Structure 1
Amino acid sequence: MVTFERITKNKLQYFSSVLDKKKRQVSGLFHIEGIHLFEEFLKSGFKAEWIVLHTDFISQHPQLANTIWNKFSAITFQANAAEFRKISDTENAQGIAAGIYQKKNNEIDFSTTTKDIIVALDQINDPGNLGTILRSADWFGINKIVLSKSSVDIYNPKVVRASMGSIFRVSCQSLDLPQFLMQAKEKNYSIFAASIDPNAPADFEKTNTSNVIVIGNEAHGISEPIKRLCSHEIRIPKFGHAESLNAATASAILMYEFSKQRYRNAK
């Protein structure tokens, strides 16, 4: 069985700081935990600064422990149960956690050759919703999401967990949303606002342009300044009695409709 360097008190204190938003912003790292997320990391182009394994994990998962030893022995440390709890963000920890370098994207890649789809999120506050939206975007082949600066932190551990690894494949940026929408208009993108207005059209228009789908806050919808920058409204038809759909569900339905149209037009 492979063995790793024991974690020190100073390293433990530094590693656990990745769970704090302000310290995450300073370090440029984010936290992953669990076997599935770690395996998704291994398939990605992201890099780790540190890895911590619970002592029991090493004996219970010898194949993965050997892979980590061969690739990351210099940055991997082992911890006992009490130590691991300090860097864990879950109740039922699987015994593996890591600090991953965030990818910084300064500019949006506006496509000029294909029918592009970008999802824009206005004041999305629930980390589970954002993680699920990332996962849905990944499923539908949409690889660009932008968020207003008032939305939840992209690298909140709950967002990362809910994304189920899609955070490694979908570009997600926090930015000035009005400025982004104005840039999208200049690039001839059609901007669709998800609406609950019963008078909004429920038929998805066929456009020959790339599209931005704007999804609003879970409780209040799209803010008025953002709504004024949208060129179209779109409503998801209602056939039952529920008052509303949550942001993640509405996003998935709209992403399906727009991606279906994109791939149908590509044939």
Structure 2
Amino acid sequence: MSNSNISAKKIKFVQSLHQKKYRQEHQAFLVEGTKNVLELLNADFEIMDLFLTESFAEKNEQALWKCKAEWRFCNEDIITRLGTLQTNDSALAVVQAKPNTLLLPDAHEWVLALDQVRDPGNLGTILRIADWYGIRKVICSEQTAEIYNPKVIAATMGSFTRVQTYYCDLAAYLKEYRSENQKVLGAFLGGEDVHTVAFSAAGGFLVMGNESHGISPEVGAQVQQAISIPQYGGAESLNVAIATAVICDNIRRTVGA
């Protein structure tokens, strides 16, 4: 613990992590707010710096015992200045990013695959949905929003600590790593009604596409079965995160945990 003032150099470094190019350069990212920081303290990420208010420390003394990194008391104005949230009266952490490591499906495992899901809020919400439904791996196209974008981290509400991501050429990945026992399903307009799909207990991949344009032709060529959520009203479309939740719910209803 330290009460020392934060140097101008440190402030500049932390604020630089608001931008993707500096997150990539330093292989570091920000975690902000009570929920996400508490989840972080229970995870296996390396915390480089931790800034917190005295009230946060008092309320979460036991959780802080687990923290091996040095942490500093700051007032709310300083923590807000360091981060990206409009207000932050609790904590902010600078965290070492994990390497982009190849993820392969285990037997009987369902994996999400995201094709050009560009909105950070949608990506963060999808990771939270994956966590809710016990999906531990999300394969992302290179055009999908960056996992360490502060808006993504905020929207996960801590689920980034439990759901793994891997960024790659998604079409090539699906072609290379899909197995004979695990189908690749994709969400398309006009696909088979999700309520009648016989999801396999052997697991598989669920591909969700871009918010506006759906699944790209390259990735679509690797999809073996098109599925769709039936429309009963007049809305033009479903948000990709909501659609992901509906389909994941049907997967779990069919095959269980």
- TM-score, normalised via structure 1 length: 0.88
Q: CA deviation at 1:86?
A: 3.0
Q: CA deviation at 1:262?
A: 2.1
Alignment of 1:82-121 (within 5 A): 83-112=78-107, 115-121=108-114
Q: Would you say the 8 A contact 2:2–2:70 is kept in 1?
A: no
Q: Secondary structure at the match of 2:147?
A: coil
Q: Secondary structure at the match of 2:213?
A: coil
Q: CA deviation at 1:73?
A: 7.7
Partner Cα distance (1:236, 1:14) in 2: 45
Aligned to 1:49: 48
CA 65–58 in structure 1, closer or farther in 2 if over 3 Å, else same: farther
CA 201–160 in structure 1, closer or farther in 2 if over 3 Å, else same: same
Q: Secondary structure at the match of 2:82?
A: coil
CA 74–172 in structure 1, closer or farther in 2 if over 3 Å, else same: closer
CA 187–100 in structure 1, closer or farther in 2 if over 3 Å, else same: farther
Aligned to 2:60: 64
Partner Cα distance (1:33, 1:208) in 2: 38
CA 243–63 in structure 1, closer or farther in 2 if over 3 Å, else same: closer
Partner Cα distance (1:206, 1:58) in 2: 50
Q: CA deviation at 1:101?
A: 1.6
Partner Cα distance (1:134, 1:40) in 2: 14
Q: Which amino acid aligns with 1:31?
A: L
Aligned to 1:247: 240
Partner Cα distance (2:214, 2:155) in 1: 22
Q: CA deviation at 1:62?
A: 2.0
Partner Cα distance (1:60, 1:243) in 2: 44
Equivalent of 1:238, from 228, 231, 234? Answer: 231
* 5+ residue gaps, structure 1: none
Higher helix share: 1
Aligned to 1:227: 220
Question: Is the deviation greater in 174-183 or in 216-225?
Answer: 174-183
Q: Would you say the 8 A contact 2:47–2:69 is kept in 1?
A: no
Partner Cα distance (2:78, 2:59) in 1: 23
Q: Would you say the 8 A contact 2:30–2:94 is kept in 1?
A: yes
Q: CA deviation at 1:186?
A: 3.9
Q: CA deviation at 1:74?
A: 5.7
Q: Would you say the 8 A contact 1:33–1:94 is kept in 2?
A: no
Q: Which amino acid aligns with 1:62?
A: E
Q: Would you say the 8 A contact 2:141–2:168 is kept in 1?
A: yes
Aligned to 1:141: 134
Partner Cα distance (1:230, 1:80) in 2: 51
Aligned to 2:32: 33
Aligned to 1:201: 192
Q: CA deviation at 1:209?
A: 3.2
Aligned to 1:162: 155
Partner Cα distance (2:55, 2:236) in 1: 50
Query: Cα deviation per residue 1:91-120 (whole Å; 9 max; x = unaligned)?
Result: 1212410011222242213213xx110100
Partner Cα distance (1:74, 1:151) in 2: 31
Partner Cα distance (2:126, 2:175) in 1: 23
CA 231–88 in structure 1, closer or farther in 2 if over 3 Å, else same: same
CA 255–261 in structure 1, closer or farther in 2 if over 3 Å, else same: same
CA 72–213 in structure 1, closer or farther in 2 if over 3 Å, else same: closer
Q: Secondary structure at the match of 1:6?
A: coil
Partner Cα distance (1:93, 1:63) in 2: 15
Q: CA deviation at 1:149?
A: 0.3
Q: Secondary structure at the match of 1:86?
A: helix
RMSD: 2.1
